Amino acid sequence: MAGHRSAPPHDHARALAQRVRALREDCGWTRERLAKEAGIAVGTLGRLESEGAIQPGFFTIGAVAKALAVSLDDLFQAAQVPPVAPGLWSAGYEGRDIDSFVASLLDSRIGVVADVRLTPISRKKGFSKTRLGEALAGAGIEYTHLRGLGNPKDNREPFWDGRVEVGRARFRGLLRSEQAQADLDRLAEHARASRVAVLCFEKDESRCHRQVVLETVRSRVSVPVNPLA
């Protein structure tokens, strides 16, 4: 006898979309009203309600549930949507454009992007702080810049010229600063509740200081670390 087969992910997303739309209409609210109450972009809500056109992040769903005065458990159970397990993702945007990058985040159901560049400015279109934050907000993903976890300019050369362990050792020392410790705590807090992509430039994590960030934060929170596809 065949076992019970769970609904495909797209069916879960469609059920969630229908549930959110039904609750909004029960309140007599327009999309604009719910988006305002939840503090999210109207476009984000529109895509969420469009038969699951996006996989919403944890904080987006949390904001919508709060605005509709329902619990997350009630919302997920009514829509038969399995909750998203929290965790950490290693994300380098080297060789990517902003559209494909955001699509990868949505595929992995990332709720927060934690930018660990010291200075979040990029020559690549869409990856400087303001534009990146706007693109992520439009997809229902939270953006946070953790400057205390950035690698200073005078410690970048070792990661590029093969002296990676030298760079890592110095960076571990820099993580003892008060600001770095506070930002590690913030990152751990996010990772306990959501899926967090830790962002820097290099595609190869072994050539980037974010590998040390990920190793260090896992001493604060026991969650898996995954590469962003």
Q: What is the pLDDT of residues 14-70, one digit of tens each?
A: 778 888 888 999 999 999 999 999 998 888 888 788 755 455 566 677 789 899 998
Backbone angles phi, psi at 142, to 5 degrees: -80, 145
Rounded CA-CA distance 188/58 in Å is 15
Ranges of CATH 3.40.1010 domains, the chain = 87-227
Mean pLDDT of 140-155: 95
Instruction: Answer with the residue of higher pLDDT: 65 or 73.
Output: 65
pLDDT for the residue 225 = 95
pLDDT for the residue 18 = 84
pLDDT for the residue 4 = 33
Least confident of 103-112, 156-165, 176-185: 103-112
Rounded CA-CA distance 158/46 in Å is 46
Mean pLDDT of 211-228: 96
DSSP 4: P
Among the four given CATH numbers 3.40.190.150, 3.40.50.10140, 1.20.1250.40, 1.10.260.40, the one describing domain 9-79:
1.10.260.40
Least confident of 48-62, 63-77, 106-120, 137-151: 48-62
**What percentage of the chain exceeds 70 in pLDDT?**
86
pLDDT for the residue 61 = 78
Q: Is pLDDT above 60 for 200?
A: yes
Q: Which of 207, 172, 216, 195 is nearest to 94 (CA)?
A: 207
Instruction: Answer with the residue of higher pLDDT: 1 or 134.
Output: 134
Pairing of strands 112-115, 225-227: unpaired
* Domain 87-227 classification at class level: alpha beta
Q: Is pLDDT above 70 for 2?
A: no
Q: Is pLDDT above 80 for 10?
A: no
For residue 123, give Cα distances in angstroms to 65, 126, 128, 188, 193: 38, 9, 8, 29, 32
Rounded CA-CA distance 11/13 in Å is 5
Ranges of CATH 1.10.260.40 domains, the chain = 9-79
Q: Is pLDDT above 70 for 5?
A: no
pLDDT for the residue 83 = 65
